[in-house]
Each structure stands twice: as structure tokens, then as C-alpha cells.
Chains A and B, each alone.
Chain A
Amino acid sequence: DQQVKQNSPSLSVQEGRISILNCDYTNSMFDYFLWYKKYPAEGPTFLISISSIKDKNEDGRFTVFLNKSAKHLSLHIVPSQPGDSAVYFCAASTSGTYKYIFGTGTRLKVLA
């Protein structure tokens, strides 16, 4: 049972435009969500997180939106840059536990 889903395996966006990556989850106990960026043959790098008490968190070009009723979160990158090309994983966790559940990832390609 895949508790965290990223239904788009890949996404291509023109440089300068907005990239929107989506993530859905099924477990209502999740209350902490994160996005990680991963290059080939490297470990994931933390990008941004959001607690369930918020519906939006912004850090520079990256904004994460959380819709608890829909059990959906999204990562917006604007403006997109070629260096943003990577695989993006969303992850979910429950307070008081260290365990993260990862989605299957979305490969973003930003075209110059």
C-alpha cells in the first residue's frame, strides 16, 4: 500500500516558468511533510518542509502548499532554472516518530 504517491513520474518545464510537483497521501495521521531533491548517485537533499498546522511555506523560489482535506501537497518552483533538473521526492511523517514515508519521485527537467 503506497501511502505517499507522486502520480507524475516526469515533468518538463521551460526555464523561467513555474514548476508544480504534486504529491498525495492517504494516511490522515501524517502531520509533517517534506520535499527532497535528488541527483543521480547522490543522497537526497532537503528542500523545504511544512507542518500540518500550516497550509503554505515559502523559501526563496520554493513554496510548498498543503491541502489537508484533500490530502494533497504541492511544490512550486518559480522561476524554474536548469539546475533544478533532478528527481523530487515528497515525504510524510507523523509527530513523535522518525519514520518518513517517501513518494516514488518525479523527475523534473527544466529546459533552457
Chain B
Amino acid sequence: GAVVSQHPSWVICKSGTSVKIECRSLDFQATTMFWYRQFPKQSLMLMATSNEGSKATYEQGVEKDKFLINHASLTLSTLTVTSAHPEDSSFYICSARADYNSPLHFGNGTRLTVT
């Protein structure tokens, strides 16, 4: 089945630094990838839609200058958390699907802790 790989699986960084998270579709091409954030005991909240070759589409309330998304190729999207603060600590998950007839497949997530 479709595989989405996300790296790193966990990262600890100091406040004020930036962190990059990578999301790759391993066996299919994804023109669109999605970035979610999950707070403890809460649902998956869509942050943004990453479009290959164009700008990402951000959900309401998500700061595009803080969460930079780059979809450089049909198999790679990156999320950079810039100038991270402790409140950015969360579980970030990417997802992708090959086409409209396929379900979304998720990466294993990245646990970000900002100290």
C-alpha cells in the first residue's frame, strides 16, 4: 500500500530556533500533501495544504510566516517551524494521497518539543 515517510520522528529544540520536518511519499507521486497538528487528547487539525510547485494554502488561524511549507517535488513536502516557542510543541503529521479515489495516508508524525 501507499507509504508516507516523515522525518524526524521526534525533535527537541531551543526556543527561537527553527525546525524542519520532511514528508515523503515513497511509492506514489503526490501533487498535494497535508500538514496536521494534534494537541493532546484532541482531533487532528489541518494546518495547511501543500501544493507542488505553488504556494501552500493555510487554514484560518495558522500563521504562514511561522509555519513555512515547501513542496519542492511530487514526493517531498517540508514544514519549517520558524522561531519556535514552547507553545509550538505538538505532534505534527503529514499526509498524502495519490489521487481523488485513494484515501489519505499518513506519516508517523513528528513530536516537537520546544524548550
Contact residue range for chain B?
A: 20 to 34
Q: Which residues of A contact B (CB under 8 A)?
A: 34, 36, 41-46, 49, 89, 91, 95-96, 98-105
Contact with A along B43-61 (1 / 0, CB 8 A): 1111001000000000000
Specify the chain A residue showing the minimal Cβ separation from B103: A46
Could you say which of B12-20, B75-83, B90-98 contacts chain A? Answer: B90-98
Question: Quick check: A96 and B100 within 8 Å, CB to CB?
Answer: yes
CB within 8 Å of A: which of B20-65? 32, 34, 42-46, 49
B-side contacts of A102, CB under 8 Å: 43-45
The 9 closest A-B pairs by CB, nearest first: A43-B106, A104-B43, A102-B44, A46-B103, A43-B108, A43-B109, A102-B43, A44-B106, A43-B93
Question: Quick check: A46 and B43 within 8 Å, CB to CB?
Answer: no
Q: Which residues of B contact A (CB under 8 A)?
A: 4, 6, 9, 32, 34, 42-46, 49, 91, 93, 95, 97, 100, 103-109, 111
Question: Quick check: B108 and A42 within 8 Å, CB to CB?
Answer: yes
B-side contacts of A99, CB under 8 Å: 34, 46, 49
The residue from B34, B42, B43 contacting A98, defined by CB atoms under 8 A apart:
B34
Q: Can you list 25 pairs linking A and B with CB atoms under 8 Å apart?
A: A34-B104, A41-B109, A42-B108, A43-B93, A43-B106, A43-B107, A44-B44, A44-B93, A44-B106, A45-B106, A46-B103, A46-B104, A46-B105, A91-B104, A96-B100, A98-B97, A98-B104, A99-B46, A99-B49, A100-B46, A100-B104, A101-B46, A102-B43, A102-B44, A105-B43
Question: Quick check: A95 and B100 within 8 Å, CB to CB?
Answer: yes
Q: Apart from A42-B108, A98-B49, A99-B34, what 9 extra A-B contacts exist at CB < 8 Å?
A: A34-B104, A41-B9, A49-B103, A98-B34, A98-B97, A98-B100, A100-B46, A100-B104, A104-B42
